[in-house]
């Protein structure tokens, strides 16, 4: 077999093996594909992506689907691929002016949610750090009524969200408090 034929044969086999490799490891070429594939196996979605942002080694997708919201991180893998991972959402509770949920991984904490009252212009989260001091993190940007607040805190394996969560406040553009809550979920 000439070198050219051998090379072509090798490349064809490589493509097949690469496909198998990706299947064996839940890898995809695009994060959106990985997201929708994960969602599908969780019997959710395909959700409508409202906003996406990168944080650490993952891309987070703020999505909406059938009255549910989600903030799913899809991790980068081997530089080029994206890995199958999170996907499920939580149902929005429209009785509350602001509905939130949270996600944690390592020291990364995210509170994400939906404003059911469009007069809300800013959301504050109060959390206790290791020394017991209260820190406030906030967001005043809304993506089709969804928002997220991200911060570095203690490692999630060492502490429960309920232990560090101190409160949630929502303000309108005049600065007055519309909603104040001790529950987050």
Partner 1 sequence: MAINKGLIGGSTPLLLLSLLESQDCYGYEIIKILEERSDNTFSFKEGTLYPVLHKLENEGYIRSYYKESDGRKRRYYTITKKGVKQLAEEKAQWERFSFAVNKVIGGEVNAIA
Partner 2 sequence: MPSPKRQESSSTRESIKKVVKRVHFIPDRYEIEQELAGHIEDSVLFLQEEEGLSQQEAEKAALERMGDPDEIGIALNRQHNPVLGYIWYFSRIVLVLLCVIVVLQFIPVLLLSGWTILFEHPIRDIPKEAYVRHVEPNELIKLDNRRIRITDVVQTKDGTLHVLYSSYNLSFSGLHGWSFNNLGELKDEDGEIYFTGSGRSTAGLYTRGRRSIKDFPFDKEKLILEYDYAGRCFKVEIPLGKVAYND
| 78 lies in the site for partner 2, by CB under 8 A | no
Q: Which does 45 bind (CB under 5 to 8 A by kind): partner 1, partner 2, none?
A: partner 2
Q: Which does 55 bind (CB under 5 to 8 A by kind): partner 2, partner 1, none?
A: none
Q: Which of residues 146-175 bind partner 2 (CB under 8 A)?
A: none
Q: Shortest Cβ distance from residue 103 to partner 2 (Å)?
A: 18
Q: Shortest Cβ distance from residue 1 to partner 1 (Å)?
A: 8
Structure tokens at 153: 């805190």
| 44 lies in the site for partner 2, by CB under 8 A | yes
| 43 lies in the site for partner 1, by CB under 8 A | no
| 84 lies in the site for partner 2, by CB under 8 A | yes
Q: For residue 42, give the nearest of 9, 68, 16 by alpha carbon.
A: 68
Count of CB atoms situated within 10 Å of the CB of 147:
24
Give the binding range for partner 2 (CB under 8 A) out of 64-72, 94-102, 103-111, 152-160. 64-72
Encode burial over 90-117: b for 16+ CB neighbours within 10 A, e otherwise.
eebeeebbbbbbbbbbeebbbbbbbbbe
| 8 lies in the site for partner 1, by CB under 8 A | no
Q: Which does 44 bind (CB under 5 to 8 A by kind): partner 2, partner 1, none?
A: partner 2
Q: Which does 17 bind (CB under 5 to 8 A by kind): partner 1, partner 2, none?
A: partner 2
**H helix or E strand, kind and range, residue 102:** strand 98-105
Q: Shortest Cβ distance from residue 78 to partner 1 (Å)?
A: 36
Q: How many whole angstroms separate alpha carbon 124 and alpha carbon 135?
A: 10
Strand order in the sheet with 108-115: 98-105, 108-115, 146-152
Count of CB atoms situated within 10 Å of the CB of 157:
8
Contacts of 32 (CB under 8 A, 6+ apart): 49, 61
Three-state DSSP state, 128: strand
By the criterion CB under 8 A, which residues form the site for partner 1?
A: 1-5
Q: Which residues bind partner 2 (CB under 8 A)?
A: 3-4, 6-7, 10-11, 13-14, 17-18, 20-21, 23-26, 37-38, 40-45, 65-66, 68, 84, 89
């Amino acid at each position: 077999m000439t070198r050219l034929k051998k090379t072509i044969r090798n490349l064809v086999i490589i493509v097949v093996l690469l496909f198998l490799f990706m299947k064996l490891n839940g890898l995809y070429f695009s994060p959106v594909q990985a997201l929708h594939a994960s969602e599908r196996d969780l019997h959710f979605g395909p959700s409508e992506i409202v906003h996406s942002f990168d944080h650490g080694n993952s891309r987070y997708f703020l999505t909406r689907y059938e009255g549910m919201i989600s903030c799913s991180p899809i991790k980068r893998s081997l530089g080029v691929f994206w890995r199958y991972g999170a996907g499920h959402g939580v149902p929005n509770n429209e009785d509350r002016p602001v509905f939130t949920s949270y996600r944690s991984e390592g020291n990364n904490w995210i509170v994400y949610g939906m404003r059911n009252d469009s007069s809300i212009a800013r959301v504050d989260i109060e959390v206790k750090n290791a020394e017991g001091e209260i820190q406030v993190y906030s967001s005043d940007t809304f993506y089709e009524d969804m928002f997220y607040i991200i911060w570095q805190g203690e490692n999630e394996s060492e502490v429960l969200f309920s232990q560090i969560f101190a409160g949630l406040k929502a303000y309108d553009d005049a600065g007055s408090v519309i909603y104040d809550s001790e529950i987050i979920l």
